[in-house]
Amino acid sequence: MTGPALPDTRLPCGRSTGPLLEQVAEGRAGELDAHQRTCPHCRAALAEFDRLWAPVRAVAADRPQAPPSVVEAALLRVRGASAGPEYGRIDSPLGHTRVAARVVVALARHLAAQVPGVEVALGGLVTDGHQDAGEVVPDVEAGVTGGSTAVQITLAAAYGQDLQALGERIRAVVARGVREVTGLEPVDVTVHVDDVW
């Protein structure tokens, strides 16, 4: 990729956004390394960069020479998306809204806990400060970049549940709820069932 150097912006997981952007620009957004496969921050950033890079790919596919203004506009949007890696950004004609990753975490935790068959979190028990003292809730991690978010939920299921069906219900409820409440697009909702009760 050519053009001005990108600032060294880091995601909450510690990864720099520069190599992720290079990965997308080279058409390798789907080739996840071991860290990226388990990191919601990297998956959200890759999905957002890939979405924002789509106009450049479309022009490149037609083989005409892209005007520098198109490439620069795409680079500016991608750079803007990586400027606040702990916040999602939803633009509207009247301005923009920034949504913190912790908001997505709290919302996803609440939504997952409401799904019948979800018991408690294991593998990192989380006591939610908004609940009664000692109440254990699903452990959630989220990455947000631009208008995209990736969510990872760790929980224990009720004994006897169809775990595949439970995972699908959780994914559907969390994706729909996050989309409706925050306006962010959940590009990935990963469910880890650590135990059954």
Residue 91 lies in a domain: no
Looking at 51, 85, 119, the residue that finishes a domain is 85
Cα distances (Å, whole numbers) of residue 49 to 17, 110, 142: 10, 28, 17
Separation CA 184–CA 186 (nearest Å): 6
- pLDDT attached to residue 104: 92
Torsion of CA 25, 83, 153, 46, to 10 degrees: 0
> Tokens standing for 159?
């004994």
Closest CA to 13 of 41, 33, 44: 41
- Give the CB-side neighbour count of residue 51, counting CA atoms within 13 A: 16
Residue 132 lies in a domain: yes
Cβ-in-10-Å burial (0-12, 13-18, 19+) of 81 comes to buried
Do 171 and 138 lie in one domain? The reply is yes
Closest CA to 119 of 95, 144, 138, 104: 138
Q: Are 115 and 162 in contact (CB under 8 A)?
A: no
Q: Are 9 and 48 in contact (CB under 8 A)?
A: no
Residue 158 lies in a domain: yes
Do 106 and 160 lie in one domain? The reply is yes
Q: From the first residue on, what is the mean pLDDT of each consecutive set of 10 residues in the chain (197 residues)?
A: 63 90 90 93 91 85 67 66 69 86 91 90 39 58 89 92 96 97 94 89
Query: Tokens 């990297």, residue?
Result: 42
Residue 133 lies in a domain: yes
For residue 146, give every residue at least 6 positions away whose Cβ sits within 8 Å of its Cβ, in sequence order, or none: 48, 51, 52, 80, 81, 88, 89
Show the domain range for 49. 17-85
For residue 66, give every residue at least 6 positions away whose Cβ sits within 8 Å of its Cβ, in sequence order, or none: 56, 59, 60
Do 59 and 120 lie in one domain? The reply is no
- pLDDT attached to residue 184: 93
What total number of domains does the chain contain? 2
